[in-house]
């Protein structure tokens, strides 16, 4: 005689979802400037820096490079993402 029971099993699922996105068209100079900018952002990986890292690698994978160009030497100062936003000041 057959017997069946309801149960829960674990199964790894990979799915494709449609998510909102943005398409940005840049000139070569604009792309190089953005590469330098996002490539010099610091902060914790749990901060929005993960997004600037993704932009950097997307540009590099698209062939954007600043090797031997002055654009990377024109950046002054630094940008740092915080893991939590700064407190707002009320006036």
Summarised one tens digit per residue, pLDDT across range 19-49 is 999 889 999 999 999 999 998 888 888 888 8
Q: Is residue 40 part of a domain?
A: yes
Q: Is residue 58 part of a domain?
A: yes
Count of structural domains, the chain: 1
Residue 9 region by backbone torsions, left for phi larger than 0, else alpha for psi between -120 and 50, else beta: beta
Q: Is residue 38 part of a domain?
A: yes
Q: Is residue 49 part of a domain?
A: yes
Global confidence as pTM: 0.69
Residue 69 region by backbone torsions, left for phi larger than 0, else alpha for psi between -120 and 50, else beta: beta
Q: Is residue 39 part of a domain?
A: yes
d(CA 56, CA 60): 6
Q: Is residue 75 part of a domain?
A: no
Strand runs labelled E in the chain: 41-43, 79-81
Domain that holds residue 31: 26-63
Q: Is residue 88 part of a domain?
A: no
Q: Is residue 51 part of a domain?
A: yes
pLDDT digits (tens, 9 = 90+) for 37-89: 998 888 888 888 889 999 999 999 999 998 888 887 787 877 887 878 787 77
């Amino acid at each position: 005689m057959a017997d069946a029971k309801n149960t829960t099993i674990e199964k790894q699922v990979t799915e494709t979802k449609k998510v909102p996105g943005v398409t940005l068209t840049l000139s070569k100079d604009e792309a190089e400037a953005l590469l330098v900018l996002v490539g010099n952002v610091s902060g914790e990986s749990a901060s929005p820096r993960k997004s600037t890292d993704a932009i950097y690698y997307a540009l590099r994978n698209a062939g954007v490079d600043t090797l031997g160009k002055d654009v990377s030497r024109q950046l002054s100062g630094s940008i740092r993402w915080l893991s939590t936003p700064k407190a707002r000041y009320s006036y």
